[in-house]
Structure 1
């Protein structure tokens, strides 16, 4: 990575698409402080509408949204603005989804929780420069715990269904859920 400061460029427009409202608002404020002209959307439909009406130079799109797949927003934005730099965010760091995101036009792929500095590095990285590794990456235990919590919430907090989907014994899952989150 070069030592030159990151520059936004002449067009500072940024579209953020995420259905996690608190995360979306925090990231929106943080990116505005860094000089971006931010539009926020909480759904695939809203993201596509904003990408079509005013195609931004930059975009940060969550992969899984309540009303569909964030890759639909990436595709539409790529059609409207081929030079846009797009970062896909997800709570599900998987090789297959990363490959799919890059194939349809994403510039980079970050796992949640990503902070504004990680997003900024990914959006503004030049050429083949890779952003530096995160200063404080999540521990493997924390990643596992986050994944279990996410599946538990998606299963409407049903322990038996969550255990079945995670291929885990119900009692083991109950013990994990009863503990505090690892650091």
Structure 2
């Protein structure tokens, strides 16, 4: 079970995991992704600046994500939304499924980064990743599909409210640049 805890307050939030006696600071604007084993006894208590998680099995994992770490999340969300709006729902779902399959092994951020980088490589028209992981290659194909759909939308002026094709907007370009490390 994955539990996101977002810190929307103006001070750091502390997450304390019992029986492990682990303590984590969630920065302002950040979040913690807590993973607990399904079907095991656990409880969550929330106070103003504290979240206490009781995990009887003692194998909870916590990943802290700062506000600046969300750049890949933002870009991947944009990619998924526009794939859906452009009729490529299966590709958007593939990105989600791939993230989910990788997340337990590599973590929240690393899974999203790996999927987005493969998507972006396909979107930018670069060569197929040399990885043996077919799901990553499929993410590359989803990026190539997004590029084709974007080009078709540009030519057909399918999205007049944007005055551009979806991935040509400043919002999409800035999000993608930040996610690949080309922007602040």
The TM-score by the shorter chain falls in which range? under 0.3
Report which of the two has the higher share of helix.
2
TM-score with structure 1 setting the length: 0.25
TM-score with structure 2 setting the length: 0.25
Report which of the two has the higher share of strand.
2
**Considering only CA atoms, is the larger Rg found in Structure 1 or Structure 2?**
2
